[in-house]
Structure formats: C-alpha cells, structure tokens
Amino acid sequence: MSASDTAPIHEVPAELHAQFERVWALLLREPKEAHDLALQIERAGRIAGDAHATLLGELLSLAVRSRMAHDPAEVADEARRIHAALGAIGDEGNAARCIVIEANALADLERRRDAIALVEASLPAARRLLGPPDLGRLLNSYGAIHVDEGCHAEAVSAWYEALEHLSAIAPTPVFAMVTLNIGVMYMRFGNFAAAEPHLREAFELIQRQGLTAVVNVCAGNLGNNLLQLGRANEACQFLEALAPDVQRDYDLREYAFFLTIRAEALCALGRLAESRACLEQVEALGPECMDLQNKHYLRIAWMRQMRREGRADEAVAALRKAEADPMHIEDPGYELQFLLEAAQIMELVGDYREAYRYARQHHMYAIEMNREFQRADFMSLHTRYEVHKTLVDRDFEVRMRHEAEAAHAEIAELNAQLEARVAEIEALQGSLREQAIRDPLTGVYNRRFLQELLPAELARCARDGSDFCLCLIDADHFKRVNDSFGHQVGDTVLKALGGSLLALEASGIVVARFGGEEFCVVLPNFDRHRSMALLESLRADFSNKPEILAISPDFKVSFSGGIAELTADIHQHPRAVEQLIARADAALYAAKRAGRNRIVQASELPREGQA
C-alpha cells in the first residue's frame, strides 16, 4: 500500500503517478537511480510546462539530496516551498510528504524543537492523508528527533505507533528503519542484549530489500552492539566481511560511522595498526562527514586507541580536551562509554582516585539511564495499547463480531501487561532507591544516606528522651595494607569490615561508609556502656575472620573506634550533628594515638579534648 491508496493524488496523469511512486519506492533501495529518474521527471515537466509534474520531480530530487552531503538550511527552505506549492494546487498527500524532509533538515540545523513542533502540527492531517509507509516514515523521523532532544519516552512512543501502522502491510524499508531505531534505543540505554535481535532483524530486512542507502549505519550499530556485548571477534568478522561492499559515496556521515566502529573492533582485538589506519581514514573524509554523533564516537575511539597503544599522556590530554569541549548531544550510550574509558585511562596512569570517580559516575549514570529506559518502555507499551485501541475502534463497524471480540481480548491482554509492567517498574524503583543509598563495595549505606538520617534521628531522641550513641570506626594501617598487598586486598579488608558491621542492621543499628576506610555506626536506644560492649565484641572477632587471617601471618589487620553519646549539651547545640560526629572523631583519634586496635569513649577524654 502506498500513500495514494488512502489519499489519491489530485489531477496527476496515471503514467506520471506510476513513475512518481516507483521512484519514491527507490529512495532507500537505489538512491542514485532514484536521483537520475527524479531529474528526468522534473525536466519532462518543465519541457511540457506542467507545473505539477515539475513539483513532483523537485520533491523526489530533494528527498534524495536531503540524505546526502547537503546544506540543511537550503533543504528546509526548498521543502517548505514545494509543500506550499503542492498544497496550493490541491495535492495535499504529496504536500504532507514534504514535512519529513523539512523536519529532518531543521534537526540537522540543531533546531530540533522547531522540527518537533512542525511534525506535531502536521500529524493530525498526516494520519488522514498518508498511507502506512509514509506515515511510518514521518513517525520514524519524529522519534529520532526526540531522541536527539533527550525525550526518549516520546521517541519510543512514536516508533511503536509507526510499527502498529506498518504491521498491517507487507514489510517495507520504513519498517526496517523503525526496527533499527528501536534497537539503537536499547543500545543508548545500555541494554545491549535486548538491542541485538532488533538490530539483526533490521539488518536482515535491509539486505533482503536491497536498502543500500542504510547498510552502513545498520551494520555499524550492529557491530558496535556486539562490541559492547564483549564479542569483539564476532564484530570484527562481521564488519570485515562487509567492508569491501560498503557505500562511501552516498552518505559520508554513515560511512564514517561504519569505519569508526570497524576501527573499534580491530582495536579490541589488538590489531592496532589497522585500527589506527581506519581512524585516520575517517579524519581524511573531511568535516562534511563529521556530524555531532560521529565527532563523539571518533573522540572515544581515539582515546581508546591511545590507551591501548600505551600512550597514556596523550590519552589523558585527549580526555581533558573532551571534557573541556563537551559538544552537547543527548546520547546516553556515548556518556556511558566516555565515563568507562575515562576510568580505564586514569587506571592506566595510576590515578586510582580519579579512576574510582569516573567509575562511580558511570555506575550512577547507568542506574539513571535504566530508570529512564523503564519509563520509555512503559510509555511504549501504553502507546501500543492506545494506538491498537484506536485502530480497533475505527474498524469495528466493518469487522465481523468475532474479530472485534478477539481484538478486545488482545486489548485486555495489553492492559494486563500494562498493569504488570507498572508493578515491575514500582519494584525496580524501590531497588534503584536502595542502590542509590548503598555503598557498592561494602553493601552498607553511603554518606549521603547518613546525612539525611542523622538530623531526623537526633530529633526523635530529643522527643522521646531515649539513649543514642554514634561510633566512628577506621581500619588500622589501611594505607600499609594497600601498599604492601595491593588494592584488591585493601578492598577485601573493607568488605570484611563492612560485612561484620552490616550484620548489626538486624538490631536496628544503621551502618554507613563515612569515607575511605572509615565507617559510621548509628546506635539508637544504646547508651555508651551497651555500645562499648557491642563494639568491643565486634573488634575482637574481626581480626580472626578467615579472610583477614588469610592476608598475612605476619601482619595483623584490626580497626579502631571512637564512641560519642548524645548528651544534653549536644542536644542544645545549633549544629548538633556536627558536634556529635566531632566528639566521636576525637575519640577515634585518641584510640589511634593509644596504639590502635581499641575502642575509646568520648566521655573518657579530658574536657578540653572534646569538640
């Protein structure tokens, strides 16, 4: 079915109409042939003095040129002119086809909000005038523009609406493009396992339908996804097999993307000379192939290349340059790869603090993107439900009753899925909240949670008049552990200490990592005597844990602690939390000075030693 099946082209001779539709169908399959035929239609229209035929030829030619190296401002102006001229002669169907060209050009000009507004204003008429392939094309671009604007849920909704319309007809090039974009969306959120079947389906459809214009971008994304899944050898074999046949003279941006991913695959296999040659080939293509996405991924590829070649200083310099010039684009996949590569570069130069900072940012951003993905997935399910319901309602009167009942049963199933997804998302949000307040290494709460908890706990104790103690614990000689046995053993000590403290949570005690090797233990309803007895017992048991004894027979690993009890003078202090922590810290410092491996109470210190 073509657009003319639902919106007949006004006053177009049958022969010209057939020519136009044949060329329109070639846009993604054989762009060069489509361009030549478009020029023939345009010339024939001019010779015959047929303004309508001339406009149709110009529309076809513009559709091809808009995907090649072009001036987007010129394309937007031309699309707007043709749209107005076709509308003026009553050809609303083909006028609606101009919208997607203008919207894509506006997006290339970084005017994405204008592009979104244009499509939104045109969609009601487009749903009436366009058949599934052209409506799907418009919705596909609408979704892609939303992605670049950072509106992922809206993008997924647009794509699934397109699929609902396209599923009623035989597979088309647009169906392949929408499937590709959904796969890329899964990649952007780091869900590479879910992305693979969509990307493979899109690639098979593209090959089956001979869509040479989009082979590069589809192959590049599938290869990149295989790399992210850790299957570098498979990715390299796949890309190397395609390399002799990829098109470099249609859309240089997509060819540059293919080469960049090919370089990444070669680099991952240690074929560094070949990967460097690929990256240099991309740069030689010139600035016309460097859209924002290509600039971002080429930047990461060069950083990774330098790191693997051992050029640490150059890799750090490239990292700092990238941070100073962020070239804003909403691409979670790029952000995640950038942070991970930054962590690896910092690890290479031995700056473990910076490496941990980048790794931590990567972890938190991945959690945030997971949450955004769940929201987008929920929106897509809701959109499929709404679109399907609309289609069922629209066709209800012409369908047999048993078909209508079957469709409503499907809606009920979608409703059940929607309810199940809501419950799943609520459970996931609870899990994500727990991850956000826990230290990933030790499993205890983090300092952010502690800062939220302490003021409320002190206020409660003030109301109830109940006991309250706080203890700061610090692993003894921790730097010596790291220096002598390595950071992995240091992590083992922290995990063991965190595990011992974590067991206290069953008694209503709260444990948080305070910083580095220091932990904070919050003991509600504990006076200083009970607190001392509990922590002395814990201290005595800690050094005899099997994982601690296994570190070295000649090196005893222990911890020291300082206990501060909540007293009336702290209650009355305007900065009670800081005062309580300061007293516990003073007691901890006294324990360290007294030889370590002991617990000291703040109440035992001389008055002038208190905070």
- Chain segment 252-278, per-residue pLDDT in tens: 788 888 899 999 999 999 999 999 999
Task: Summarize pLDDT for 154-176 with one digit per residue, the tens.
Answer: 887 888 888 888 887 888 888 88
CA-to-CA distance for 142 and 104, rounded, in angstroms?
9
| Beta strands at 510-515 and 518-524: parallel, antiparallel or unpaired | antiparallel
Please tell me the predicted confidence (pLDDT) of residue 70. 65
Answer yes or no: is pLDDT of 191 > 50. yes
Q: What is the mean pLDDT of residues 129-150?
A: 88
Please tell me the predicted confidence (pLDDT) of residue 384. 57
Please tell me the predicted confidence (pLDDT) of residue 387. 57
Please tell me the predicted confidence (pLDDT) of residue 6. 39
CA-to-CA distance for 329 and 291, rounded, in angstroms?
11
Supply the DSSP symbol for 453.
H
Among residues 448, 379, 458, 323, which one has the least CA distance to residue 143?
379
Q: What is the mean pLDDT of residues 563-591?
A: 91
Task: Summarize pLDDT for 300-328 with one digit per residue, the tens.
Answer: 899 999 999 999 999 899 888 888 876 65
- Asked if 388 and 410 touch (Cβ cutoff 8 Å), the reply is yes
Answer yes or no: is pLDDT of 432 > 80. no
Q: Which range scores top for mean pLDDT: 153-167, 375-389, 565-579?
A: 565-579
Q: What is the mean pLDDT of residues 34-60?
A: 85
Q: What percent of the chain has pLDDT over 90?
A: 32
Answer yes or no: is pLDDT of 82 > 80. yes
What confidence tier does 539 reach under pLDDT thresholds 50, 70, 90? very high
Answer yes or no: is pLDDT of 123 > 50. yes
Burial of 608 (0-12, 13-18, 19+ CB in 10 A): exposed
Sign of the alpha-carbon torsion through 266, 267, 273, 278? positive
Please tell me the predicted confidence (pLDDT) of residue 118. 95
Which is more confidently placed, 383 or 313? 313
Task: Summarize pLDDT for 316-373 with one digit per residue, the tens.
Answer: 998 888 888 766 556 677 788 888 889 999 998 899 998 899 889 888 877 877 776 6
Please tell me the predicted confidence (pLDDT) of residue 28. 67
Please tell me the predicted confidence (pLDDT) of residue 12. 58
Please tell me the predicted confidence (pLDDT) of residue 508. 86
Beta bridge partners of 521: 471, 511
Task: Summarize pLDDT for 5-18 with one digit per residue, the tens.
Answer: 334 445 556 777 78
CA-to-CA distance for 43 and 465, rounded, in angstroms?
93
CA-to-CA distance for 395 and 413, rounded, in angstroms?
19
Which is more confidently placed, 502 or 25? 502
Residue type, 173: P
Please tell me the predicted confidence (pLDDT) of residue 580. 94
Q: What is the mean pLDDT of residues 468-483?
A: 93
Mean pLDDT, rounded, of the chain:
84
- Asked if 246 and 260 touch (Cβ cutoff 8 Å), the reply is no
Please tell me the predicted confidence (pLDDT) of residue 183. 87
Sign of the alpha-carbon torsion through 265, 267, 272, 278? positive
Answer yes or no: is pLDDT of 45 > 70. yes
What confidence tier does 400 reach under pLDDT thresholds 50, 70, 90? low
Please tell me the predicted confidence (pLDDT) of residue 573. 86
Answer yes or no: is pLDDT of 57 > 60. yes
Please tell me the predicted confidence (pLDDT) of residue 610. 42
Answer yes or no: is pLDDT of 398 > 60. no
CA-to-CA distance for 112 and 144, rounded, in angstroms?
10
Question: Tokens for 167?
Answer: 């599923």
Which is more confidently placed, 257 or 287? 257
Answer yes or no: is pLDDT of 130 > 50. yes
What confidence tier does 607 reach under pLDDT thresholds 50, 70, 90? low
Question: pTM for this one?
Answer: 0.54
CA-to-CA distance for 602 and 503, rounded, in angstroms?
25
Please tell me the predicted confidence (pLDDT) of residue 611. 41
Which is more confidently placed, 437 or 140? 140
Q: What is the mean pLDDT of residues 200-218?
A: 83
Q: Which range scores top for mean pLDDT: 256-260, 391-395, 420-424, 581-585?
A: 581-585
Please tell me the predicted confidence (pLDDT) of residue 37. 84
Which is more confidently placed, 160 or 100? 100
